[in-house]
């Protein structure tokens, strides 16, 4: 028996259903365009790494990073600057309150990042003079004593455990490009494995939920020579050795050593666009990410990688220098297209966090012209590049025989209805051709039944995101344009 209140409730629900149905029918009547749904996918979070601007208390670069759609910021932790130059009596390297430690500069950066709504990724590097196991020589950096590194990592994680009025930081990165002697010498997998394990043991002892990031490799191997004073190990060979894996499509164990980390990261700088592949078999550009992911999965499957959670795959440094200001670099339009494509290429190969280098171009005629902003007299007056739009609201479209596939991520990284628009040629009006609903991670993708031609352009429009850059269905060809201007791509050695 249905009570009167229940009958009223059922009536109200029926009215709401009919109203919603009528509204839906009204929308359908007003729009002949199909709405495509996007199933659940992995996310693509974004970060910015800029050691020139994102290193102090000034809130402006952090606010600009957040406004670029980033959720994370990578911050350098200079061990040699925080630790005492000489060890005082009674110094306890595991205790962040021990006399001699100086946290003020890093505290200011971490608090500014948190204040802007960004999650810090703390990257440990730079050995104090008293902590070297192998001392620096010329441009080569030397390597730290592993117990000393572990002790500092414990102090660092304890300092930011959220118990002493400072932010609770949960992500710790081990070194930068450890396969390059400029940062670690000897650049040996066994040396780096011991460093990662020491940091992981210490950081996880403070909080088992903390993430430890390993890898961060230079994408190219550079053998030793008489002319070149530094060297780098080929990244895929370095990784296989670290993870105790053989070469081949079905790798087997080559040693029993374990390595403890939660995230594997790489710096896949690339020549010739987002789908470029390295000429050397063990180098890793964007087009080679499937090979690196396969090695990572093999290491996890054979239990050589130890983690209490699913191991993630990140890009912790990437960018395209632009012309202007750097001669020989990708044009602004090409770099903007390649930015969106690079994010797509990373995401479809399992990367869940993508980090851009830099926030603003460096001044002068030197390197570092991959900023989201042109260099200005002040950071607040810096002029945004179109690359910023591509990073904040990436959108790509590819022409097939009778369809066009589209992919993107809305700037709000949540569920939105994304409008897909088309324009014939480089001029003319835009026309809506479809709608795509993004999923809870802001990812949207679809294969549109659409008559289009190479001369056509597409773009996306979404609430909170604005308009993406226009994306041409004509694929550009620029195989020798690289990430750093006129620097030639590495070639296969004879």
Q: pLDDT means per 10 residues in the chain (494 residues)?
A: 35 35 35 89 98 96 98 98 96 97 98 98 98 97 98 98 96 98 97 98 98 98 87 98 96 97 98 96 98 98 97 98 95 98 98 98 92 96 97 98 97 96 94 97 97 96 97 95 82 43
How far apart, in whole angstroms, are the C-alpha atoms of residue 494 and residue 82? 45
pLDDT of residue 31: 56
pLDDT of residue 21: 36
How far apart, in whole angstroms, are the C-alpha atoms of residue 338 and residue 320? 8
How far apart, in whole angstroms, are the C-alpha atoms of residue 163 and residue 97? 13
pLDDT of residue 379: 94
Question: Which candidate, 255, 121, 124, 126, places its Cα nearest to that of 196?
Answer: 124
- Residue environment code for 371-393, b if the CB has 16+ CB neighbours within 10 A, otherwise e: bbbbbeeeeeebebbbbbbbbbb
Provide the whole-model pTM. Answer: 0.92
pLDDT of residue 491: 58
pLDDT of residue 189: 98
pLDDT of residue 178: 98
> Vertex 342, ends 277 and 285: CA angle to 5°?
25
Q: Retrieve residue 142's tokens.
A: 């030397």
How far apart, in whole angstroms, are the C-alpha atoms of residue 338 and residue 361? 18
- Residue environment code for 428-456, b if the CB has 16+ CB neighbours within 10 A, otherwise e: eebeebbbbebbebbbbbbebebebeeeb
pLDDT of residue 14: 38
How far apart, in whole angstroms, are the C-alpha atoms of residue 369 and residue 390? 16
Question: Which candidate, 199, 208, 174, 49, places its Cα nearest to that of 120?
Answer: 49
């Amino acid at each position: 028996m249905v009570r009167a209140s229940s009958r009223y409730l059922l009536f109200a629900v029926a009215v709401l259903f009919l109203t919603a149905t009528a509204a839906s029918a009204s929308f359908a009547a007003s729009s002949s365009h199909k709405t495509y749904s996007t199933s659940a996918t992995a996310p693509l979070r974004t970060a910015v790494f800029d050691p020139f601007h994102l290193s102090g208390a000034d809130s402006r670069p952090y606010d600009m990073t957040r406004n670029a759609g980033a959720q994370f910021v990578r911050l350098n932790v200079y061990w040699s600057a925080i630790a005492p130059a000489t060890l005082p009596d009674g110094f306890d390297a595991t205790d962040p309150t021990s006399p001699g430690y100086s946290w003020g500069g890093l505290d200011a950066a971490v608090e500014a990042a948190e204040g802007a709504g960004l999650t810090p990724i703390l990257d440990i590097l730079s050995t104090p003079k008293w902590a070297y196991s192998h001392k620096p020589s010329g441009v080569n950096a030397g390597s730290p004593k592993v117990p000393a590194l572990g002790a500092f990592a414990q102090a660092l994680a304890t300092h930011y455990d959220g118990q002493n009025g400072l932010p609770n930081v949960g992500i710790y990165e081990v070194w930068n490009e450890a396969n390059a002697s400029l940062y670690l010498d000897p650049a040996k997998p066994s040396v780096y494995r011991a460093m990662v394990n020491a940091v992981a043991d210490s950081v996880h002892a403070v909080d088992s939920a903390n993430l430890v990031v390993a890898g961060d490799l230079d994408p190219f191997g550079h053998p030793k020579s008489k002319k070149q004073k530094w060297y780098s190990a080929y990244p895929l060979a370095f990784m296989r050795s670290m993870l105790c894996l053989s070469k081949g499509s079905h790798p087997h164990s080559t040693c029993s050593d374990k390595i403890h980390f939660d995230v594997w990261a790489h710096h896949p700088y690339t020549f010739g666009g987002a789908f470029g592949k390295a000429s050397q078999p063990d180098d890793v550009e964007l087009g080679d990410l499937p090979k690196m992911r396969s090695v990572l999965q093999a290491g996890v499957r054979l239990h050589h990688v130890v983690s209490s959670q699913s191991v993630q795959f990140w890009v912790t440094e990437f960018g395209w220098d632009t012309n202007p200001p750097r001669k020989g670099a990708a044009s602004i339009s090409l770099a903007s297209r390649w930015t969106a494509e690079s994010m797509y290429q990373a995401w479809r190969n399992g990367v869940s966090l993508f980090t851009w280098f830099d926030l603003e171009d460096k001044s002068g005629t030197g390197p570092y012209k991959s900023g989201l902003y042109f260099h200005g007299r002040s950071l607040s007056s810096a002029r945004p590049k179109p690359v910023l739009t591509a990073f904040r609201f990436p959108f790509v479209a590819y022409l097939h025989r009778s369809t066009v596939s589209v992919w993107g991520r809305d700037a709000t990284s949540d569920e939105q209805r994304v409008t897909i628009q088309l324009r014939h040629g480089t001029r003319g009006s835009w026309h809506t051709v479809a709608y795509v609903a993004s999923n809870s991670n802001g990812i949207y993708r679809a294969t549109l039944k659409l008559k289009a031609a190479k001369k056509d352009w597409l773009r996306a429009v979404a609430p909170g995101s604005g308009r993406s850059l226009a994306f041409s269905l004509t694929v550009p060809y620029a195989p020798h344009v690289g990430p750093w201007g006129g620097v030639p791509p590495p070639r296969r050695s004879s």
